[in-house]
Structure 1
């Protein structure tokens, strides 16, 4: 068994599994007694881990995470992890991440501009997705069906259905704390629309009171209440989103893009962009153009 430079075992798809699986391979693990699986990383595959009963401790990149029903975790190739627990039942679904990216293309979802998908590709944080209580039984049944029908044409179809469901319902769905547009005060809806239209015209927080006839203090309070951020944070996020779009769909120099969306300090632009997209702008542009 190969090992990393840190002496961590590598589970290689080419020789680790007892069968040559194609689309996916799913295992169902259950134990009433204490159980553990050694620390390792993956090569050639990723895996979803989901407990349907009890709990396990999934130690991911040295961060312990107690998984219970409702906690879906994706382990990427560049992650390391080990597991332990007792009195549990969980599934782990091994698959190729390129299948997820192909579905993104099919659904016209750009994995290189979607923040949550970029976090999978380039991030270091744990890829944890919450499964609401009313969806747990459905997901558990889906995993049971995948287990029963794996290595069959019907199983391949079920797996792609499963991937689409996870992608749409759990990965890229906005958090439940997101406020629906109709609950926003009308003046705030109008202000957000103006920000979107003028983000490449150098709009600043100083201009906001004149645009909505509200004080700085009132605007800040309402932003925190309804958007969970400050006006400055909202503007910066909108600028970065527009910058990512221009990097992908234009040949403008990076410094021109930064100035266009309202960043006069190039170093600050680079820092915020890297914080949001986990890549510097130049690498982001190359990665985006390489997606076909």
Structure 2
């Protein structure tokens, strides 16, 4: 298939830092693929689309958020049965590259800056999907300034995207659904077995595809979600550590402590000491000043 290269200078009006479109995709196959000299963020807002990228084809469902790089060779077309409405934002590479230089700990090796063969895709659902749409649509009527596109990118990458549900544009839909299902306690409590059951495929096949598309095994993926759940509970409740471990589906406390330390670098107790402090209503400690009694 012929490949053409698109230039952002042909899309931006004078002084604009980004180009925004919100449109319905055609169902006809593309006559050519394209690359471009800019970054492109695309969100499947409604329906579904076929995406051909770097030699592979995937069906993108509603809520797919793609971080497309300049040299990704690709094209979209709507799925005939559902149609597709897509939000697309394109902007100069230099508008975002300095963000990764400044916030490397959060952004390096991810989003637009991954070396993977396929562009990164995140799957939005529920309130996170609504937040993604609302954040993107704010660009439609905003002044198309550099400050505005930088604010948008940081919001999408640090406040909207769910880090736990990450893959790339060629991820099979059944694997994406298993990733979504693994967010639920009734699934992650079962460990890798819960993930495999949600995928509805054989264990070996699921493990092989998880390594290909996620870069990790189902067990590692689920344990990451378990530890995020544990950290949230430690920082926001008085629940005992053993009870939290059981809520994560882990009965062996030694194994729980080992997993937690591997993810956060400290023990669960140390994590709670730091993250459970309440500066508004402190409950005690050396730094808490004694205040005179107040009438009830």
TM-score w.r.t. the length of structure 2 is: 0.52
> Which residue of 121, 125, 136 maps to 2:129?
136
CA deviation string 1:165-192 (max 9, x = no partner): 2222466823444212553543124445
Corresponding position of 1:44: 37
Is the contact between residue 25 and residue 94 of structure 1 (CA under 8 Å) also seen in structure 2?
yes
Aligned to 1:174: 164
**1:92-171 matched pairs, under 5 angstroms:** 92-107=88-103, 109=105, 111-112=107-108, 114=109, 116=110, 120-151=113-144, 153=145, 156-169=146-159
Compare the two structures and name the one with the higher helix fraction: 1
The CA deviation at 1:37 is 4.4
Q: Distance in 2 between matches of 1:139 and 1:170?
A: 6
* Structure 2 CA distance for aligned equivalents of residues 12 and 27 of structure 1: 16
Listed one character per residue, the Cα deviations across residues 245-284 of structure 1 (whole Å, up to 9, x for unaligned) are xxxxxxxxxxxxxxxxxxxxxxxxxxxxxxxxxxxxxxxx
**Structure 2 equivalent of residue 12 of structure 1:** 7
Contact 1:46/1:97 (<8 A) preserved: yes
C-alpha distance in 2, partners of 1:20/1:164? 24
**Per-residue CA shift, 1:61-84, capped at 9, x if unaligned?**
122222232111122111111111
Deviations 1:130-150 (A, max 9, x none): 112222122222222211225
Alignment partner, residue 30 of structure 1 = 24
Measure how far apart 1:55 and its partner are.
1.7
Q: 1:89 to 1:43 in 2, by over 3 A?
A: closer
1:187–1:160 CA distance, 2 compared to 1 (3 A): same
The alignment yields a C-alpha RMSD, in angstroms, of 3.4
* Correspondence 1:225-240 to 2 at 5 A: none
Inter-CA distance 128–188: structure 2 relative to 1 (3 Å threshold):
same
Structure 1 runs of 4+ with >6 Å offset: 193-196
Query: Does structure 2 retain, via aligned residues, the 8 Å contact 1:41–1:77?
Result: no
How many pairs align?
185
Once the two structures are TM-superposed, the CA of residue 11 in structure 1 deviates from its matched residue by 0.9
Residue equivalent to 2:56 = 63
Q: Counterpart of 2:284?
A: none
1:123 Cα deviation from its structure 2 partner = 1.6
Match of 2:85 in 1: 89
5+ residue gaps, structure 2? 166-182, 184-221, 231-243, 264-296
Q: C-alpha displacement at 1:25, in angstroms?
A: 0.9
Q: 3-state DSSP class of the match of 2:226? A: coil
Unaligned residue ranges in structure 1 (runs of 5+)? 1-5, 197-292
In the superposition, the TM-score normalised over structure 1's length comes to: 0.52
